[in-house]
Amino acid sequence: MSLADVLFGRPLATSEERGEKIGSGAGIPIFGLDALSSAAYGPEAALTLLIPLGAAGIAYILPISLSIIILLGIVYFSYRQTIEAYPTGGGSYTVARQNLGPHAGLLAGAALMIDYILTVAVGISAGVGALVSAAPSLQPHTLGFCLLILLVLTIVNLRGVREVGAIFLIPTCLFIATLLGIIGLGVVKALISGGQPVAVSPPQPHPATAVLGAWVLLQAFSNGCTAMTGVEAVSNGVKAFREPVVQSAQRTLTAIIAILALMLAGIAYLVRAYHIGATDPGETGYQSVLSLLVAAVAGKSVFYYITMGSTLLVLALSANTAFADFPRLCRALAEDCYLPSGFATQGRRLVYSQGIWVLAGVCAFLLILFGGVTDRLIPLYAVGAFLAFTLSQAGMVMHWKRTGGPKAVRSMLVNGVGALTTAITVLVVAVAKFAAGAWVTVLLIPGMIILMAHIRRHYDRIATETTDPAPLDLNSLRPPLVVVPLVRWSRIAKKALRFALNISPDVLAVNVGSGDEAGNLQREWTRLVQAPAKQAGFPPPPLVLLESPYRFVLGPIVDYVLKLERDHPDRQVAVLIPELMETRWHHYLIHNQRAEWLKAMLLFKGTQRIVVINVPWYLQSPKPVVLA
């Protein structure tokens, strides 16, 4: 068993793809972790903006959270209809492209790609933030933990969809059970005490340093909207579900949204009841809102550490939603020639491996750039997600208008309300977060659109230049002029000349004249090559000596080949390059690699009539040396 099999599992045949399909339950950890885990950092992101208001700011988290839950409900009903209308996968890119045109599709695709990248970075950094809250001594190692979790997630996702669902199911269930348990316990305590529960571990007081304003509430709302990211994941991955795919996907979406809404409402109520405010991220003594809330409800008991441990796992694993959907989005874009074609190719475990590797690389760069601190990444977040929401819902309005049917008017109304509310949210988030870093996303999206449009133009140009419906033309065929560059006489040179004479009578051996080897080759050429060729009935190949006063070797050969091609406009020129193939990679380090450089120069400077052919000589494995 190879190392690749141990890390990534055995290769799966295409016929095994049906066995990789998942049910509704497994869909929650695969497509729902991003949305569910945002309950751990969405309310905190809003409360962080309310820190200057002190205790007065905490009171506003409940109406902010209720506004977000209402928006979440609107988006939920919209995506249920998207799943039904696009049972093969109705991601924002697909819906927008098919109903609003290619430009809208590219806008949705670019926005979603940014959203998925930030989902991984924010999820992992938030998970490590939960770990640091429970063990503050680990704060200096924040970035190291982030990169380690990213590596583990990358390897797990390269193993395939079904294994991901099985691995992540237990942490997801533990997170849901512990957090809902804390919320339930806290609500009971609050009701028994008449809405004024006594905290087991009281949070620190929060002095006010600023006065409430509409702009502060707007910013808090825009930060809190990060709790809605990941809601579109199920509609993107409908094809991953078992039959009946529509019902399975809708059940998964319903479960995710219901649990998330309950969590957001419960956290908002308890934060207000227990007077818990956010602490400044990145500073010594930082604790997440969830850590303070669990400690206030249950104290720092064993249950506290179980809850925070499950939160850490789920926050870190929430990046899996992006790992599940980002490669699928890249595949769709690649199939439409907006990304390199490699993104549309399935790897050894029937996943789109190239998309996974690219996502991991970009996220590693982001985590290093921002030091793994969640709060620094939040301003870049949510713009892409809500822009994709808006385009998807607007596309669905046009879909129902085009297809019609008895439910078309009602469906148009649902999707229209969804499009309007998410469009307003996009503007609010973009304006509120622009100075704090959202300008990066606002500029990055058109930049990505330009890049993808350029890739499409490149593929279109290749198709225009290479497409030829005419049958094969076999008129005026002639053997090529064959050029064989030689350094000295050897078995490698003999093999190259035998192959050259086998494909054409017009063979030219070329040697760059420098040193004694060139003179020896010239003196022995008749005996070694021309006489045996004439005796066998082949035209004797001449030896062409190229002068090189400055000892350059490759340049004179390339110039000779180009001149030969110009002098014979009715012939192809085939350059046979003898090449030594070593048995061990490190042996290549002690060779000059002239063959590789010559191939590169000929391919770079060549024309349609110049063909480069490798003639490899495979060395035998060296025998072990026995010391006497």
Instruction: Please give the Cα distance from 290 to 312 (Å, whole number).
Output: 11
Token code pair at residue 21: 């399909």
179 and 86, same structural domain? Answer: yes
Q: Which pLDDT score is estimated for 599?
A: 93
Of residues 598 and 317, the one with the higher pLDDT is 598
Give the domain range for residue 497: 481-618
Instruction: Please give the Cα distance from 167 to 8 (Å, whole number).
Output: 14
151 and 281, same structural domain? Answer: yes
Instruction: Please give the Cα distance from 108 to 94 (Å, whole number).
Output: 9
80 and 38, same structural domain? Answer: yes
Token code pair at residue 122: 């924010």
426 and 292, same structural domain? Answer: yes
Q: Which pLDDT score is estimated for 498?
A: 95
* Contact call for residues 226 and 41 (beta carbons, < 8 A): yes
Instruction: Please give the Cα distance from 348 to 356 (Å, whole number).
Output: 13
Q: Which of 35-49, 103-117, 232-246 has the highest mean pLDDT?
A: 103-117
Q: Which pLDDT score is estimated for 20?
A: 64
Q: Binning pLDDT at 50, 70 and 90, where does residue 606 land? A: confident
552 and 404, same structural domain? Answer: no
Instruction: Please give the Cα distance from 610 to 572 (Å, whole number).
Output: 6
75 and 30, same structural domain? Answer: yes
CATH code for the domain in which residue 108 is found: 1.20.1740.10
601-605: average pLDDT: 92
Query: Where a domain ends, among 440, 455, 470?
Result: 455
116-137: average pLDDT: 77
In a domain? residue 623:
no
Q: Which pLDDT score is estimated for 623?
A: 62
Q: If DSSP codes are grouped into helix, strand and coil, which group holds residue 473?
A: coil
Q: Express each pLDDT in 504-544 by its tens digit.
A: 999 999 998 765 666 778 888 999 999 999 999 999 999 99
Amino acid in the structure at residue 437: G
489 and 447, same structural domain? Answer: no
Residue 285 has pLDDT above 80, yes or no: no
* Contact call for residues 74 and 421 (beta carbons, < 8 A): yes
Bridge partners, 607 (sequence order): none
Query: Where a domain ends, among 420, 455, 490?
Result: 455
Of residues 157 and 433, the one with the higher pLDDT is 157
* Contact call for residues 214 and 222 (beta carbons, < 8 A): no
Alpha-helix residue ranges (DSSP H) falling in 514-593? 516-525, 531-535, 554-567
Residue 561 has pLDDT above 90, yes or no: yes
Find all residues with CB under 8 Å of 471, minimum gap 6, and list them.
Answer: none
Q: Express each pLDDT in 409-448 by its tens digit.
A: 888 888 888 888 888 878 877 777 676 666 777 788 899 9
Residue 237 has pLDDT above 90, yes or no: no
In a domain? residue 461:
no
Residue 208 has pLDDT above 50, yes or no: no
624-628: average pLDDT: 52
In a domain? residue 216:
yes
Q: Binning pLDDT at 50, 70 and 90, where does residue 209 land? A: very low
Q: Please state, as a whole number, how many other Cβ atoms lie within 10 Å of the Cβ of residue 133.
A: 24
Of residues 406 and 553, the one with the higher pLDDT is 553
CATH code for the domain in which residue 604 is found: 3.40.50.620
Q: Which pLDDT score is estimated for 64?
A: 84
Of residues 438 and 323, the one with the higher pLDDT is 323
Q: Which pLDDT score is estimated for 1?
A: 57
In a domain? residue 17:
no
Distances (CA, A) of 389 to 133, 429, 431: 33, 13, 18
The phi-psi region of residue 337 (left if phi > 0; otherwise alpha if psi is between -120 and 50; otherwise beta) is left
Residue 626 has pLDDT above 60, yes or no: no
Query: Where a domain ends, among 390, 421, 455?
Result: 455
Distances (CA, A) of 504 to 254, 484, 541, 564, 610: 70, 12, 11, 16, 15
31-60: average pLDDT: 73
Residue 226 has pLDDT above 50, yes or no: yes
Bridge partners, 513 (sequence order): 547
Q: Which pLDDT score is estimated for 33?
A: 80
* Contact call for residues 298 and 304 (beta carbons, < 8 A): yes
Q: Which pLDDT score is estimated for 516?
A: 60
Of residues 623 and 542, the one with the higher pLDDT is 542
Of residues 230 and 311, the one with the higher pLDDT is 311
Please state which of the ranges 53-57, 76-80, 270-274, 308-312 shows the lowest mean pLDDT.
Answer: 53-57
Q: Which pLDDT score is estimated for 501?
A: 95
In a domain? residue 585:
yes
Tally of structural domains, the chain: 2
Q: Which pLDDT score is estimated for 19?
A: 61
Instruction: Please give the Cα distance from 318 to 172 (Å, whole number).
Output: 9
232 and 136, same structural domain? Answer: yes
Residue 150 has pLDDT above 80, yes or no: yes
Q: Express each pLDDT in 371-385 by its tens digit.
A: 877 556 665 666 777
Q: Which pLDDT score is estimated for 284?
A: 62
Instruction: Please give the Cα distance from 62 to 220 (Å, whole number).
Output: 12
246 and 107, same structural domain? Answer: yes
488 and 423, same structural domain? Answer: no
Shortest CA distance to 546 belongs to which of 504, 484, 605, 624? 484
Instruction: Please give the Cα distance from 272 to 62 (Å, whole number).
Output: 7
Q: If DSSP codes are grouped into helix, strand and coil, which group holds residue 207?
A: coil
In a domain? residue 467:
no
Instruction: Please give the Cα distance from 38 to 385 (Å, whole number).
Output: 13
In a domain? residue 366:
yes
Q: Please state, as a whole number, how many other Cβ atoms lie within 10 Å of the Cβ of residue 579.
A: 18
Q: What count of Cα atoms within 13 Å lies in the side-chain half-sphere of residue 23?
A: 3
Q: Please state, as a whole number, how many other Cβ atoms lie within 10 Å of the Cβ of residue 282.
A: 14
486-510: average pLDDT: 93
300-316: average pLDDT: 82
Question: What sign has the CA pseudo-torsion 138, 144, 150, 156?
Answer: negative
Q: Binning pLDDT at 50, 70 and 90, where does residue 624 land? A: low
The phi-psi region of residue 461 (left if phi > 0; otherwise alpha if psi is between -120 and 50; otherwise beta) is alpha
Q: Express each pLDDT in 396-412 by its tens digit.
A: 899 888 887 777 888 88
Residue 3 has pLDDT above 80, yes or no: no
* Contact call for residues 252 and 169 (beta carbons, < 8 A): no
217 and 146, same structural domain? Answer: yes
435 and 498, same structural domain? Answer: no
The phi-psi region of residue 230 (left if phi > 0; otherwise alpha if psi is between -120 and 50; otherwise beta) is left
Token code pair at residue 475: 């008129």
In a domain? residue 443:
yes
49-77: average pLDDT: 77
